[in-house]
Structure 1
Amino acid sequence: MVKVIGLGDNVVDKYEHIRTMYPGGNALNFAAYAKKIGINSAFLGAFGSDAEADHVQNTIHELGLDISKCRHFNGENGCARVTLEDGDRVFLGSNEGGVLRENGLNLTQDDLEYIKTFDLLHAGLYGYTEPELDKIRALSIPISFDFSDDFTIEEVERIAPKVDFSFFSCSHLKTDEMLNLVMKAHKLGSEIVVVTMGEKGALLYDGTKFYSQEPELVEAVDTMGAGDSLITAFLINYISKIKENELDRENIIKESLNEGAIFSAKTCLVEGSFGYGKKY
């Protein structure tokens, strides 16, 4: 069985309209969703010293994630302010990662030896991981990176050559802009490029052909984490199955995209990224 690690951000998403905070963050969501799917997973990031950090860590202990290599600093944990509009999450602001932004990860040789034991590492634009990618690349384990929706072309040009899987949220782009982005990321070096388009589903390019995936439509309670859960389920299915049968790549991609869509729909029926709300 594969095991995976999320590197970078954890936050509390503070839902201002109900005064409730939920654990989240791209890297932590990935690790939590992988655990929910039944995969051995870990998270490596930084925690603050406030009540928000305590809530995230208490939740992680309940989930059973390995956080043995995480950093702890005095100061604010990552925090975002959120509200909901007809089930769609709307971000109102954040402290931009709190102590993670202020201190960085600064991976040591011991950290790298630990990371080398995993089958896949996932990071993202908000995790302040870019300075660490060259070190991780040298370990020869697959790297997945989520560029989210507010990436710059300069960031794509710097990061895409260093990662195996590139993910983008592209609901805001025109079709030709999106296709140009996909082709560019692949040409730069990413083996597989996936763009999510909200209610229009997802599109994947592997250098040979395009694959489209329709969304599983549900009456969403909360869309927080929908993209992260699609990414996680796709990656878990893909890396697990491609190890067993590299020759069936086309069918594995199709099956993995479908699993991603199904898992993403289930996430939309949960409050917050994966529940565990606490009043504040």
Structure 2
Amino acid sequence: MRVIGVGDNVVDKYVYKQTMYPGGNALNFSVYAKQLGVDAAYFGVFGDDAAANHIIKTLNGLEIDLSHCRQHKGENGYAAVDLVDGDRVFIGGNDGGIQKDHPIVLTKEDIKYIKTFDIAHSSVYSDMDAELHKIKEAGVLLSYDFSNEYTDQKLKTVCNDVDISLLSCGQLTEEEVEALLKKTHSYGSTLSIGTMGSRGSMVYDGENFYNQKPYFVKPVDTLGAGDSFFTAFILHYLKGKKESDIQAELIKRSLEKGAEFAAKTCLVDGAFGHGLSY
């Protein structure tokens, strides 16, 4: 299996200790897939500052393919983060930095490259919603993280191009999560996934709902928990689909794999470590 994260990258700047860690939804997907033993690539936009250089150096060290990334003069994306009892609190940022001025526009060559992967993963923070249809039309399985940045219009527009939708639903009741996942499915996503923080996660496949409680640990840092949960879930799910496993049992096992891996992520500073003082 080969996977690619397409879109956002940042450094998460932990202001209270003046340390920055590589991150971003699309980038994290690539890194977590690599940690799980899968061939992974990342395709995004970098600046040319110390933050960008640190991310590039880290990904090269992890042997993640960056061959199609863009780099421009300017400030890389960053988010300012504080920690309260091990939980992440975002306190600012630069809205993607250089990515705002140079968003990804997929060329025919880019699409040819992306077609060599089993799944591409993007996000609401990647500034490339208008390009998603090119990936979908190329026949590549596409997943997308809405985080908690979704409106009905956003879902209606994006889900038509997205096979697997991931939504942060910690602020919703279980009944509201069920209604949201049904709606997401009706707009075009085959699989809809809601993460609910300490209450776990829920999946809807168009017929049934599946729930998973989290693996409880005393967290060092919850940053990246959702991304790592999704990565482990979807990789196990796709492997099982190739082996023609029974859908219900496959989703249940995949949810367990996701919860287990997310718990391990919560024991690491930043999304996946590799901190650098700034």
Q: If the length of structure 2 is used for normalisation, what is the TM-score?
A: 0.98
Q: Secondary structure at the match of 1:147?
A: strand
Does structure 2 retain, via aligned residues, the 8 Å contact 1:165–1:190?
yes
Unaligned runs of 5+ in 2: none
Q: Partner residue of 2:103?
A: 104
Q: Partner residue of 2:160?
A: 161
Q: Partner residue of 1:125?
A: 124
Following TM superposition, the consecutive aligned residue runs of length 4 or more in structure 1 with deviations greater than 4 angstroms are: none
Q: 1:250 aligns with which of 248, 251, 268?
A: 248
Q: CA deviation at 1:176?
A: 3.1
Q: CA deviation at 1:161?
A: 1.5
Q: CA deviation at 1:221?
A: 0.1
Does structure 1 retain, via aligned residues, the 8 Å contact 2:75–2:98?
yes
Letter in 2 for 1:73: H
Q: Partner residue of 1:236?
A: 235
C-alpha separation between the residues in 2 aligned to 1:255 and 1:171? 22
C-alpha separation between the residues in 2 aligned to 1:151 and 1:66? 30
Q: CA deviation at 1:220?
A: 0.1
Does structure 2 retain, via aligned residues, the 8 Å contact 1:7–1:45?
yes
Q: Partner residue of 1:204?
A: 203
1:64-116 deviation digits (Å, cap 9, x = unpaired): 00000000001010100001000001000111111111111111100000000
Aligned length: 278
Residue 142 in 1 paired to residue 146 in 2? Answer: no
Does structure 2 retain, via aligned residues, the 8 Å contact 1:8–1:127?
yes
Unaligned runs of 5+ in 1: none
1:106-136 deviation digits (Å, cap 9, x = unpaired): 1110000000000000001001120111111
Does structure 1 retain, via aligned residues, the 8 Å contact 2:105–2:128?
no
Does structure 2 retain, via aligned residues, the 8 Å contact 1:7–1:129?
no
Residue 76 in 1 paired to residue 79 in 2? Answer: no
Q: Secondary structure at the match of 1:136?
A: helix
Q: Partner residue of 2:112?
A: 113
Q: For the aligned residues, what is the CA RMSD?
A: 0.8
Q: Partner residue of 1:275?
A: 273
1:181-220 deviation digits (Å, cap 9, x = unpaired): 1110011111110100000000000011110001000000
Q: Secondary structure at the match of 2:80?
A: strand
